[in-house]
Amino acid sequence: MQIQYPGLNTFAAQGFSAIPGYIDQHVHVLGGGGEGGFKTRVPELMLSQCIKAGVTTVLGLLGTDGVTRSVENLVSKTKALNEEGITAYCLTGSYGYPTCTLTGDVKKDVAFIQEIIGVKVAISDHRSSHMTKEELTRLVSDIRVASLISGKPGLVVFHLGRGKSELSIVNEILDETDLPIKHFRPTHVQKIQQEAIAFAKRGGFIDFTTGRDTSRTATYIVEALDAGVPPNLITISTDSNGSQPIWDENNELIGLAAASMGTMQKLIRALVFEQEIPIANAIEFATRNVARALGLEGRKGSLAPGYDADILLLDQHLNIDTVFARGQLMMQGGELKVKGTFEQ
């Protein structure tokens, strides 16, 4: 029997697979870049980029540039994306330390700004502030207290570069303090594959950036699984609208590109078709696992009663055909039904 009630719309979905909308937890919603001068600032994220990529929830953040971009701008953009129909959160901070904030205090940013659920900082990178162990311990401690006060997950997201220190400072803090590992969130972990595997075996989430070569990233993920990393501690994100600089041996910029949110689906396809991971398992790296990592379990990451109606319909080739975000039809048959406020 077909359910009927006023305003009900039905959609023919025979032949499609229905999965939860993707959660992209590392997105430069204001644009990243700038390492090659003002002309290399990557443009802001547009709503249509998210919809076409099947991303219905984003976590926005700043990157290298916490000077010409601000947390105030970031929170404003996050609010705008929520108003336009998807779900958005953000992090205070950027690469640098002392941390750039909105209120002047990291704890207050997390406790009082609804959209802010943690902080970002860079380690093991020539563009970082090269924090001392004491400084980083204090930052994580502040986030720990803010998370308890606010009921938020309290993330400290670590941008990881290719520096010599890798995760050593994080491991020392975990060894020497009582701070829970759940607050430590390394990303771009394929740069330090073996260190990341060891961190995950301690019980921490590790986040792989999809990258330009999604086949290679899929291989890294399988290597981590084969090494004994629990599948539910692996997440993926795109670094969308962030810069992808190319450095020479002296850390001088010799090339620059911008990351694309479309690599999320490309990586899912690579995991399924190249690595032969079942689709139900592959999508969890971008859905259920991320929801758990962000404290959104019970609302995001699954198709179940009580969850937001973030739904993707995939064809037999795992192409995204239809997108619903919070129950609203955003794309059907590959055609956008909703665009950002200033998109043509």
Active site residues: 239
Measured in residues, the chain has a length of 344
Is residue 39 within 8 A of residue 253, CB to CB? The reply is: no
* Calpha distance 187→50 (Å, rounded): 20
Angle at 235 between CA 284 and CA 247, to 5 degrees: 140
Angle at 295 between CA 290 and CA 298, to 5 degrees: 90
Please, what's the largest Cα pairwise distance for the chain?
A: 68
- Say if strands 116-123 and 206-209 run parallel, antiparallel, or are unpaired: unpaired
* Calpha distance 284→23 (Å, rounded): 10
